[in-house]
Structure 1
Amino acid sequence: MTAKTYVYILLTDTGTLFTKSIKKYTKAPYNHASIAFDPTLKEMYSFGRKNPSNPINGGFVKEDVYTGTYSKYPDTTCVIYKLEVSNRDVEKMRRVLNVFIKNKKKFLYNLFGVLGVSLNEPVEFSNSYFCSQFVAEILQRSGIKLWDKLPALITPDDFRKNDELQLVYEGKLIEYPAIKRNHS
């Protein structure tokens, strides 16, 4: 029997103008998705702002709760889920992730993809992703299929509504017990 471990899916709402605009359309409580490899969210990745002060410059980012974008928005609300996977699944995810890490400067934020989701038309460009597309892509390329649709059509709310994900925490990000303990 293969040992099981977890990856963590973090959905957030920072309350920025961009997220408020998306929320108005989607009516979903969270509009940003990230993937983490530990419950303390120390190793967390997504597609978002490269510079917390510049919402226009987006791409592949290693996120940090205490620096970067989240540090500018202390009232960020979140929901955190865990997904049970095998150690082999994690190895595959890390291999896929390493391609993003090694080529991070080549990746762009897929703003047209976000618009495509609203039209239910996948808009895919080479080296271009939006947050939930990226997380779904990491999972799918690792052999984990949570939906019968393309990663380019996955929204943060699709994660929230997926029965395979187990709720870990919901509330203010900065009050999440695992990071509070780890940061003290």
Structure 2
Amino acid sequence: MGRKRKIYILLTDTGTVLTRMIKFYTKKPYNHASIAFDAELMEVYSFGRKKPKNSFIGGFVKENIDSPLFLQADCAIYSLTISIDEYKKMHQYIQEIASKKDHYHYNFIGLFGVLFKKPIKRKSAFFCSQFVASVLKESNISQFEQKDLSLIKPSDIIDLADFQFVFEGKLEDYIDRNTMRIPCPFYYSV
């Protein structure tokens, strides 16, 4: 058995208008999904707001969980132990998207596909859970025979692999303010 690493899935409810609308439909407590490469949540990626005060300007983002939007959010955090090769594949896939981030957009239209259970695929566009699911698929963590990536909701993600529950509550409570948070060894600036 080779060396292993952990990744983390961060599910949040930030209370924004968009998340409240999604929550009304899904009836689930968390409606935003992100993937993190460290327990300290220094390296967190998703598709979401590019500008904190405008939910309609979205795309690929390296999320700042120290922002007021996230610190006040309710969250659930799950971990998954994966091989170093899977970990590197994830990073490579995300870095490819990051290097072309201006060409990627938030898949608002795809949200209607989820609503009507009809896949709407757009080139270079993801919504948050579609992005996280694509990262898992590209690194061969999950095969997705049952559901199209464009129909994956945040609540579906933890069922895609053997994720382990880590924490539930206010994100601010998860962050230990008295501990210096340091980036993981594979830290990339986006």
Matched, 1:66 2:69: no
Tell whether the 8 Å contact from 1:40 to 1:179 is kept in structure 2 after alignment. Answer: no
Tell whether the 8 Å contact from 2:89 to 2:139 is kept in structure 1 after alignment. Answer: yes
Q: Percent identity?
A: 44
Relative distance call for 1:104 and 1:180 in structure 2 (3 A) is: farther
Give SS of 1:181's match. coil
Structure 2: 5+ residue stretches without partners: 182-190
Which residue of 1 is the match for residue 101 of structure 2? Answer: 104
Which residue of 1 is the match for residue 188 of structure 2? Answer: none
User: Pairwise CA RMSD of aligned residues?
Assistant: 1.6
Letter of the 2:98 counterpart: I
Tell whether the 8 Å contact from 1:8 to 1:81 is kept in structure 2 after alignment. Answer: yes
- Deviation of the 1:12 alpha carbon: 0.1
Relative distance call for 1:161 and 1:91 in structure 2 (3 A) is: closer
Q: Count residues in correspondence.
A: 180
Relative distance call for 1:6 and 1:18 in structure 2 (3 A) is: same
Which residue of 2 is the match for residue 50 of structure 1? Answer: 50
For 1:129 and 1:78, locate their aligned partners in 2 and report how far apart those are by CA, in whole Å: 21
Which residue of 2 is the match for residue 41 of structure 1? Answer: 41
For 1:177 and 1:164, locate their aligned partners in 2 and report how far apart those are by CA, in whole Å: 24
Matched, 1:93 2:58: no
Correspondence for 1:136 among 133, 137, 148: 133
Relative distance call for 1:73 and 1:6 in structure 2 (3 A) is: closer
Which residue of 2 is the match for residue 127 of structure 1? Answer: 124
TM-score, length-normalised on structure 1? 0.92
Structure 1: 5+ residue stretches without partners: none
For 1:143 and 1:64, locate their aligned partners in 2 and report how far apart those are by CA, in whole Å: 27
Letter of the 2:105 counterpart: L
Higher share in helix: 1
Correspondence for 2:152 among 151, 154, 168: 154
For 1:107 and 1:138, locate their aligned partners in 2 and report how far apart those are by CA, in whole Å: 15
Which residue of 1 is the match for residue 163 of structure 2? Answer: 165
For 1:37 and 1:180, locate their aligned partners in 2 and report how far apart those are by CA, in whole Å: 21
For 1:182 and 1:63, locate their aligned partners in 2 and report how far apart those are by CA, in whole Å: 18
For 1:62 and 1:179, locate their aligned partners in 2 and report how far apart those are by CA, in whole Å: 20
Relative distance call for 1:82 and 1:51 in structure 2 (3 A) is: same
Which residue of 2 is the match for residue 23 of structure 1? Answer: 23
Tell whether the 8 Å contact from 1:174 to 1:180 is kept in structure 2 after alignment. Answer: no
For 1:52 and 1:61, locate their aligned partners in 2 and report how far apart those are by CA, in whole Å: 11
